[in-house]
A = this chain, B = another copy of it.
Amino acid sequence: MNVILASTSTLFGGNYLEYLTKELTELFKGTEEIIFIPFARPGGISHEEYTAKAKDFFSGLNIKIKGLHEFANPVEAVHAAKGFFTGGGNTFLLVKTLHELGLMGVLSENIKKGKAYLGCSAGSNIGGINMKTTNDMPIVYPSSFDCMGLVPFNLNPHYLDPNPDLKHNGETRETRIKEFLTQNDIKVVGLREGNWIRIRGNKITTEGTEETRIFEPGKAPYELKPGASLV
């Protein structure tokens, strides 16, 4: 496989995908056109406008973008594509739409054959076993929480450390992930902003500027340095 699952599309104060420019040049090397999957975006901007944003960035890498919503038969479009990018937004809406269109398995199959894939935020969540560690609000009801399983664990993008100054009784991210572990025997990778997961062949590593926090059933959470192996 040849995959990047990034915590976020945009670093604070940066431009869209800018911090990943070098990595994306390598990920999509030799790929002239990729399909953009805009389904996570629930409002504010349309699928067309969201796709235009991706086009804008990738034109700088001489890569053409087509939105998956432009195709009459999206299943065929995925089979014919050379590579994929799924943008962020709401994971429930993304997963619901992919299941409705019969695309979750088709996308997974094509990526597992070696087609390049970039996911950001919600687009990274769907690379995990299921979407049960998303941070998003359940604004729609998907027919299943199952995802592509590109990696043998779940992801928590935008991972945020507890803020000891916050006088608020909502659960911290760490508490939420520990709650997940009481109900599921699945490792969770807490991806801080600035980090991503890289799959090259059958090697999976954690990359970026921050340490990555790992949660496993029956273990204290621990940190991995950039470049560490994830399996």
Contacts and interface: CB of A to CB of B under 8 A. Distances in A.
28 contacts: A9-B169, A11-B169, A12-B167, A12-B168, A12-B169, A42-B183, A43-B179, A43-B183, A89-B179, A90-B179, A131-B138, A132-B138, A132-B141, A133-B139, A134-B137, A136-B176, A137-B176, A137-B177, A137-B179, A138-B138, A139-B179, A139-B180, A139-B182, A141-B144, A158-B168, A158-B169, A158-B170, A169-B193
Contacts of A10: 169
Given A11-B169, A12-B169, A135-B170, A43 B178 contact: yes
Given A160-B170, A182-B43, A193-B169, A139 B135 contact: no
A176 to B, nearest CB: 4
Given A132-B137, A138-B134, A193-B168, A93 B183 contact: yes
B160 A8 contact: no
Contact of A183 (B135, B139, B183): B139
A145 interface: yes
Contacts of A183: 42-43, 93, 139-140
Taking chain A's interface residues, is the majority helix, strand, or loop, or is none over half, making it mixed?
Answer: loop
Contacts of A168: 12, 158, 160, 193
A59 interface: no
A177 B93 CA distance: 14
